[in-house]
Copies of this chain bind each other. A is one copy, B any other.
C-alpha cells in the first residue's frame, strides 16, 4: 500500500494534465469504455491508454476488463482525498482570520469600555 504522501503526489500529478482532467470530467458523468473515453479527445488509443495508466496508478480511476471491453470508472473516495487535503489547509487559513477578527473585536470592545468608565 502506498504512503498517503506518495498517493497525493500521484493524484496531483495525474490531475496536472488537461487530457487526463478531460477523462475524469467524462467519467464523472458515468462509466465509459476506453474507446468512448478516446473519442472526444482526438488522441490515439495508445496515448489514451498511457494517460489511463497514470490515472489508475493514482487511484483516481479504476478499470475492469470484461471480455474485450475495458470499462473505466472514477473513484469518488480518491477524489475526496485529493479534495480534502486542499480544503483542510484553506479552512485552517480561514479560521486564522476568524480568530484574528474575534481578537480585534474583543480589543475594540475593551477599549470602548475603558473610555466609558
Chain A positions near chain B (C-beta within 8 angstroms) = 5, 8-13, 15-18, 21, 24-25, 27-30, 74, 76, 79-80, 82-83, 85-87, 89-90, 92-94, 96
Contacts and interface: CB of A to CB of B under 8 A. Distances in A.
Nearest to A4: B18
Chief secondary structure at chain A's binding surface: helix
A25 B89 contact: yes
Contacts of A94: 76
19 contacts: A5-B21, A8-B15, A8-B18, A8-B21, A9-B16, A10-B16, A12-B12, A12-B13, A12-B16, A24-B89, A27-B93, A28-B90, A28-B92, A28-B93, A29-B92, A79-B86, A79-B90, A86-B86, A87-B87
A95 to B, nearest CB: 9
Nearest to A26: B89
A41 to B, nearest CB: 14
Contacts of A25: 89
